A and B are shown apart, each in its own frame.
Chain A
Amino acid sequence: MNDTPAVAIDLKDIDFSWPGHGSKSVGGEATKPVLFQSLNFSAERGEKVFLHGPSGSGKSTLLSLICGTIEPDRGQVNIIGENLADKTWRQRDRFRAECIGIIFQQFNLVPYLTALENVLVPMSFALVRRERAGGKVANTKQTATALLDRVGLSAAQLSNRSVSELSVGQQQRVAAARALIGKPEIIIADEPTSSLDSDKRSDFMALLFEEVERNGSSLVFVSHDMSLQSGFDQTIALSDLGTSNGLGDEK
């Protein structure tokens, strides 16, 4: 399955320990808190993956590995067919901007930009996505406005309002629009609904699914809330991915 070209994310045999947290033992051998050992994870193109695990189990770390902001001690991270180890940090930043849209738990938005400007920020760092969104400034603006409209935020609702005046639910929808603009291959959502009440939560999930399916993107959705798992193609417990020891377990 992992060999098919349609694989969006492929993590092979990953070892990871937090740097800097190790304490030197008497023998001089450094013992570091091991987080992952021989971890394997993959998601196909267009696949929606639900990833769950208790807090501290390394969910954010796994996402950082996929995003290429941290490197594994061992193993390979392939994102849409490209090995991140072959890239410099700078290239990884650009690569991430091009093919990954990220939605955080909360406070996703740049506070001093408007909703529209927030949605447009990735256009300055990702050229391919900008092309897909229309290329010229006027076109990308149109795309962003349409996207905001689709996630339920009309231009009238947003005009002349600071993003901090928006409700949390509205802010998360702006963040979703920002992750989705330019149709990146992968959408990563790190507990995006945890600050929403249950009504808003199911609304948000429906909207996210709709847009991800429309774009044909893969979705990696991280949450500890098992009630959200319906509708996903794959549900994975982080502890099943490899020897995931958790921060406390030193071996």
Chain B
Amino acid sequence: MILFNLALKSLLNWKLAVGLSVLSIAVSVALFLGVEKVRTGAKESFLNTISGTDLIVGARSSGVQLLLYSVFHIGNATNNVRMNTIEDVAVLPGVGWVVPISLGDSYRGHRVIGTTTEFFDRYRYRNQEKLTFQEGKRFNSLFDVVLGSDVAQTYSHTLGDEVVLSHGTGTVSFADHTERPFKISGILDRTGTPIDRSVLVSLEAIEAIHHNWTPGVGHEDEKLPTLEELKPKTVTAAFVGIDTKMATFSLQRFINDYEKEPITAVLPGVAFSELWSIVSNVETALLVISGMVVVATVLGMMVAILSTLNERRREMAILRSVGAAPHHVASLLVIESLLITLAGIALGFAVLFLALMFGRSEIEQMTGIAMQIAVFGKNELRAVGALLCGSLVAGLVPAIKVYRLSLADGLIMRL
């Protein structure tokens, strides 16, 4: 108890040096925890870009590629899938629902997703969250369009605005579908998924803007085709929901062996993990770097304590003279380093907590990474434990030195 009091008062005596040590530990702890938060948050957000969908079906390709173009809108499909095939899949036993999507057009560089209105019911992200509307509603008539929140925000679009889609997926387009402008019927809430940067129209609309249309020339006739004519012959991919989850693998096998057309079915979870494993090196690197910062900080604290030892040698002799044994004097230093570290950890947690409290929604807005405030995982606890052990060692090094010194010095004062 006396040692604890002495340690506390001694630390208060070195306010500046101790304060800086505490601060540097707090910063490194906050950094480490922050990296960990971002890492887990990013992973969570990424893995849950699409949920509730059991299979994604597209033209024969690798699972990762299928996932990349159908969900992340990165790259292009190797081939289209015939609508007949999708209809065949839809009637397979166990299949609950099928939502086809048609990609290939864009609006100012943002992908256009041609799909059915069922998309709004079936598409789920994160923890089974549904798409919701900021304003307006789903597309209803042929030339209605629904905007993702980013798209609407970037171009300050409101309901009723007219937009012109472009052929192809480049940012700069040379072939616009100017004859067939769309009217905004709805704007979606933010999801933190690629949907935010997408534009949704009906499958029939996609057909309509391409019906008898040649890039650079335009439509051969101005007459709108009939709805029968607009029935899509091919789509890019389809999201599939399965009622009996047990059937997932046999369905996947069946689809992959489908004889009339070479197609691939992929389990999103599996493809996500595959994809994540590609970037997990970066994840590890981040963790290692922030871990090293923590190590450097502990070393810094040790140096700070060691550097005060000579000045404190006299103090040690005084303590020895009033009855403190060498091990008392040594424990004093260990307690001090533990106190510094504990204060640093507490401050680091507080800093991160406050940062998350006030910055969480902004971060989510900007990056789509959802971070939880309160939940600290095993990794964090392990890191705190390791840090405390490290500080124990960092305190022991000067403590052992002081132990030796105070044995050698005894009560003799050295200036």
Residues of A bordering B, CB below 8 Å: 60, 63-64, 67, 69-70, 89-90, 93-94, 96-98, 102, 104-105, 107-113, 117, 121-122, 124-126, 178
- A107, B9: Cβ atoms under 8 Å? no
Interface string of B1-42 (1 = CB under 8 A from A): 110001001101100000000000000000000000000000
The answer for the CA separation of A89 and B315 in the assembled complex, in Å, is 20
Q: Is B411's beta carbon under 8 Å from chain A?
A: yes
Contact status B314-A107, CB under 8 Å = yes
A221 to B207, CA, bound (A): 109
Q: Let me know if A112 and B413 touch, CB within 8 A.
A: no
Are A112's CB and B323's CB within 8 A? no
* CB-defined contacts of B411 to chain A, threshold 8 Å: 60, 63-64, 67, 69, 102
**Residue of chain B at shortest CB distance from A103:** B321
Does B270 interact with chain A (Cβ within 8 Å)? no
A33 and B323 CA atoms in complex are apart in Å by 30
B74 at interface, CB cutoff 8 A: no
Q: Are A112 and B314 in contact (CB under 8 A)?
A: no
Give the residue of B2, B327, B413 whose beta carbon is less than 8 angstroms from that of A121. Answer: B2
C-alpha gap A67/B412 in the complex (Å): 11
B322 to A125, Cβ gap below 8 A? yes
A-facing residues in B361-415 (Cβ within 8 Å)? 410-413
Let me know if B322 and A178 touch, CB within 8 A.
yes
Partner of A111, one of B1, B13, B325, B326: B13
B319 contacts A by Cβ under 8 Å: yes
Tell me the complex Cα distance, A43–B314, Å.
29
- How far in angstroms is the closest Cβ of chain B from A22? 16
Instruction: Evaluate whether A64 and B412 lie within 8 angstroms (CB atoms) in the complex, with A107-B314, A110-B315, A112-B9 already known.
Output: yes
- At the interface, yes or no: B318 with Cβ under 8 Å from chain A? yes
CA–CA, A108 and B322, complex, Å: 10
| Whole-angstrom CA separation of A104 from B414 in the bound complex | 12
- B413, A107: Cβ atoms under 8 Å? yes
Question: B315, B320, B326, B411 — which one has the most chain A CB atoms within 10 A of its CB?
Answer: B411
Check B324 against A104 for contact (C-beta < 8 Å): no
CB of B325 within 8 A of CB of A90, answer yes
13 examples of A-B residue contacts, CB within 8 angstroms: A64-B410, A67-B411, A90-B327, A93-B324, A93-B325, A98-B323, A102-B411, A104-B413, A112-B9, A112-B13, A113-B6, A124-B1, A125-B328
Instruction: Give the residue of A67, A111, A121, A124 whose beta carbon is less than 8 angstroms from that of B410.
Output: A67
B residues near A108, Cβ cutoff 8 Å: 318
Q: Which of A63, A107, A126 contacts B323 (CB 8 A)?
A: A126
B13: nearest chain-A partner, CB-CB: A112
Q: Name B12's closest neighbour in chain A (CB-CB).
A: A112
- Give residues 40-69 of B contacting A (CB, 8 Å): none
In the bound complex, residues from chain B placing their C-beta under 8 Å from that of A112 are 9-10, 12-13
> How many Å from the CB of A58 to the closest CB on chain B?
11
Query: Contact between A125 and B9 (Cβ–Cβ < 8 Å)?
Result: no
Binding site for A on B (CB under 8 A): 1-2, 6, 9-10, 12-13, 314-315, 318-328, 410-413
A98-B324 Cα distance, complex, nearest whole Å:
11
| Most A CB within 10 A of own CB, among B314, B319, B321, B412 | B321
Interface centre among B9, B314, B315, B323 (most CB of A within 10 A): B323
| A residues near B13, Cβ cutoff 8 Å | 111-112
- Which residues of B are found within 8 Å of A98, using beta-carbon distances? 323
A124 partner residues in chain B, CB cutoff 8 A: 1-2, 323
Q: Contacts A110-B318, A112-B12, A113-B9 hold; do A125 and B410 have CB atoms under 8 A apart?
A: no
Q: Which 3 A-B pairs have the closest CB atoms?
A: A97-B323, A125-B323, A69-B410
Q: How long is the Cα–Cα vector from A124 to B328 in the complex, in angstroms? A: 11
Asked if B410 and A110 make an inter-chain contact with CB atoms under 8 angstroms apart, the answer reads no
What is the distance, in angstroms, from B61's C-beta to the closest C-beta of chain A? 71
A109/B318 in contact, CB under 8 A: yes
Give the docked Cα–Cα distance between A67 and B323 (Å).
10
Q: Which residues of A contact B325 (CB under 8 A)?
A: 89-90, 93-94
Query: Inside 8 A of A102's CB, which chain B residues have their CB?
Result: 321-322, 411
B318: nearest chain-A partner, CB-CB: A110
Query: What chain B residues lie within 8 Å of A113 (beta carbons)?
Result: 6, 9
Q: Chain B: which residue is nearest A92 at the CB level?
A: B325
Q: Which partner residue on chain A sits nearest B14 by CB separation?
A: A112
A89 neighbours in B (Cβ, 8 Å): 325-326
Nearest-neighbor residue (CB-CB) of B324 within chain A: A125
Closest B residue by C-beta to A126: B323
A17–B250 CA distance with the chains assembled, in angstroms: 90
Query: In the complex, A102 Cα to B320 Cα: how many Å?
Result: 10
CA distance A98 to B328 in the complex (A): 16
For B6, the chain A residues whose CB sits under 8 A away are 110, 113
Give min CB distance, A175 to chain B, whole Å. 9
What chain B residues lie within 8 Å of A90 (beta carbons)? Answer: 325, 327
Residues of chain B contacted by A125 (CB below 8 angstroms): 2, 322-324, 328
B323 touches A110 (CB 8 A): no
Nearest to B11 among chain A residues (CB) is: A112
Bound-complex Cα distance A90 to B324 (A): 10
CA distance A125 to B318 in the complex (A): 13
Q: A70's contact among B326, B410, B413, by CB below 8 Å, is which? A: B410
Name the CB-closest residue of B to A122: B322
Q: Is the CB–CB distance between B315 and A111 below 8 Å?
A: yes
Residues of B within 8 A of A97 (CB): 322-324
B79 to chain A, nearest CB (A): 78
CB distance from A114 to the nearest CB of B (A): 9
Interchain nearest-CB distance for B329 vs A (Å): 10
**B323-A60 in contact (CB<8A):** no
A121→B412 contact, CB < 8 A: no
A245 to B324, CA, bound (A): 32
